[in-house]
Structure 1
Amino acid sequence: MDNEQHSISRVLGVTANFDAALEVGRRTDFLCRNLRQASCRTYILGISGGVDSLAAGLLAQAAVLELRADGYDAQFIAMRLPYGVQADETDAQKSLGVIGPDRVVTVDIKPAADAMLEAVMVEGEDLVEQARKHFHLGNIKARQRMIAQYALAGSTRGLVIGTDQAAEALMGFFTKFGDGAADILPLAGLTKRRVRAIAEHMGAPAELVFKVPTADLESDAPLRPDEEVYGVTYDEIDDFLEGKAVTEPAGKRILKTYLASRHKRALPVAPINEMAG
């Protein structure tokens, strides 16, 4: 497993060493540089109440403040994208309070998400597994959230920030063209514990930093912990990525999931790719 761990960690950009202060500086500079290079003025990010969007939001706000101090017109717009009433709305509001974004825009995605599923069911009901209906709706929710973010980005010369990090990338724990779609990924290459370290270093309170992670996509299982879906813990996933020893069952589970989700990390397949080979 050691060689596979090393290879996967390298592909996902996980480094052997980590220093929170250095990473905050490096990733803030990354956000500053890329907004300028794209000739854009705004960063857009959906804030869920979890530590990933909290850390990404703190980095984004730090970046636009740095850009403005240097005379560049930039702003950070945080979006709240609840499906009706979000179960952990209080945490989302606390995250916004910690981040202090320039602007907050709220869009309820429930009408659009429900309408899309209903439209699909008109002629495709027999193609939708009823037992997984809430799972399919969850993916629609994720894609509707990205539609809203890009709608705002398109009218504000903005770039959409994604919250993908190495642990979720490893497990394929994102929706293709949903939360997996973005213009820039400031958390890429970070394990979950390193994302938490960055948020903590930037002043986030422990109650948000160490909150139990949940994608909260399935309406019939609100706030279902990510680890319950994975079948392994974030500590085991992070240890795997950081080249540390993991139990054989955990290693096999992680590797199996990584291989099964490879299509989610790849660009669309095209005939030209095969001809080039």
Structure 2
Amino acid sequence: MQSIQREIAQQLKVQAPFKDWTAIDAEVNRRITFIQDCLRNSGLKSLVLGISGGVDSLTAGLLAQKAIKELRTNTGDGSYRFIAVRLPYETQFDEYDANASVDFIKPDEHHTINIGPVVKFMANEVKALQGKTAVSRDFVLGNTKARIRMVTQYTIASAYDGMVIGTDHAAEAVMGFFTKFGDGACDLAPLSGLVKNQVRTIARYFNAPEPLVEKIPTADLENLSPGKPDEVSYGVTYAEIDAFLYGEPVCEKAFKIICDTYYKTRHKRVMPFSP
């Protein structure tokens, strides 16, 4: 079991557990430098990130805003900026948390774009959705929401000559818990390799409000199950996923679910198949 866990952890470049505050500080600064290098190498000046209200986008936003502030200070170039985007489908289930995240991050710019009309138009135009069960239709449109959000973020990034930030980390990557070419599409992923608890730890490093840090994670893509916890979708907990990625013992059921899901979703973590 542990050999399989080690192999998967290596594939996902899982970051070693933080030993102390010094290690956390070093990792935060390494990732901030990574963000800055991405911008410098691209020749662009803006970062765009969708803020959902969860700890992942909160943490990515805090890293991005600090990276941008340092770039402005160190270069004297005031054109660097971080743009946070709220992308609700009509009224978001956790609207309060999303707004609280934006308020705490204090981005240089903040936009709110309701994706509801676009998703509904798509649903009405796509004949393949007709005749599907309510549950099946709801699931399909959940992925559509994620892809419309991606398109919106890239539209904003293009308008501002910027890059799109993703929020994927190791605990989601191992479960394939992202929409292919939706929230899985980005130019840089500053949380990559972190387990869920490490994402929370970095949020605490920035003194983020504890209710946001410990908020129950949810993709909130399904209208019929608003705020559905990620762990319900997984069938395992984030604590079990983190332990698995660290090579620690997990129960047989959790081990099987994580491994089966990892291999089943492999296509999401690779480039498109080609002959």
Q: Which one of 171, 184, 187 corresponds to residue 183 of structure 1?
A: 187
Query: Does residue 74 of the first structure (1) align with residue 84 of the second (2)?
Result: no
1:182 match: secondary structure: coil
**Alignment correspondent of 1:241:** 245
SS in 1 for 2:126: helix
CA contact (8 A) 2:220 2:227 kept: yes
Alignment TM-score, normalising by the size of structure 1: 0.95
Alpha-carbon contact 1:45-1:77 (below 8 Å) kept = yes
Q: 2:118 matched to which residue of 1? A: 112
Asked if 1:86 is matched to 2:73, the reply is: no
1:98 to 2:104 alignment: yes
Distance in 1 (CA, whole Å) between partners of 2:135 and 2:165 is: 33
Q: Distance in 2 between matches of 1:126 and 1:188?
A: 38
Say which SS state the counterpart of residue 48 (structure 2) adopts. strand
Shift of 1:17: 3.7
Question: Secondary structure at 2:178's aligned position in 1?
Answer: coil
Partner residue, 2:12: 12
Question: For the residues of structure 1 that align with 2:223 and 2:261, how far apart are their CA atoms?
Answer: 24
Deviations 1:199-247 (A, max 9, x none): 0101101110000000000000000000000000000000001111111
Q: Counterpart of 1:187 in 2: which secondary structure?
A: coil
Q: Residue 61 of structure 1 is aligned with which of 62, 65, 71?
A: 65
Maintained 8 Å contact 2:219/2:227: yes
Please list, as runs of the form range in 1=range in 2, the aligned pairs for 1:1-277 lying within 5 A after superposition.
1-18=1-18, 19-71=23-75, 72=77, 73-121=79-127, 124-125=128-129, 128-271=132-275
1:274 maps to what in 2? none
Instruction: Quote the offset at 1:126 in angstroms.
Output: 5.2
Q: Encode CA deviations 1:52-107: one digit per residue, 9 max, x unaligned.
A: 00000000000000100012331000000000000111101110111010000110
Q: Distance in 2 between matches of 1:138 and 1:168?
A: 17
Hey, what's the Cα distance between the residues in 1 that align with 2:220 and 2:163?
25
Q: Quick one: structure 1 residues 85 and 2, their matched pair in 2 at CA, closer, same or farther if it must change by over 3 Å?
A: same
Task: Give 1:16 shift.
Answer: 2.7
For 1:245 and 1:239, locate their aligned partners in 2 and report how far apart those are by CA, in whole Å.
7
**Letter of the 1:16 counterpart:** A
CA contact (8 A) 2:123 2:129 kept: no
State the aligned residue count.
269
- How far apart, in 2, do the equivalents of 1:15 and 1:203 lie? 22
Structure 1 residues not aligned, in runs of 5+ = 272-277
Query: What one-letter code is carried by the residue in structure 2 that aligns with 1:92?
Result: A
Q: Which AA in structure 2 matches 1:94?
A: A
- Asked if the contact 1:13/1:189 (under 8 Å) is kept, the reply is yes
Kindly provide the CA deviation profile for residues 152-191 of structure 1, in whole angstroms up to 9, marking residues without a partner as x. 0001110000000000000000000100000000000000
Amino acid paired to 1:194: Q
Does the Cα contact within 8 Å between 1:45 and 1:79 map onto a contact in 2?
yes
AA in 2 matched with 1:107: I
SS in 1 for 2:174: helix
Q: Once superposed, which parts of structure 1, at least 4 consecutive aligned residues long, lie more than 3 Å away?
A: 125-131
Q: Kindly indicate whether the alpha-carbon contact (under 8 Å) linking 1:117 and 1:140 is maintained by their aligned counterparts in 2.
A: no
User: One-letter code of the match for 1:9?
Assistant: A
Gaps of 5+ in 2: none
- Measure the CA separation in 1 of the matches of 2:92 and 2:5: 37
Identity value in percent: 51
Mean Cα displacement is larger for which, 143-152 or 71-80? 71-80
Displacement of 1:130 in angstroms is 4.3
Q: TM-score, normalised by structure 2?
A: 0.95
Moved more, 8-17 or 45-54: 8-17
Partner-residue secondary structure (3-state), 1:7: helix
Once superposed, what is the RMSD of the aligned Cα atoms? 1.1
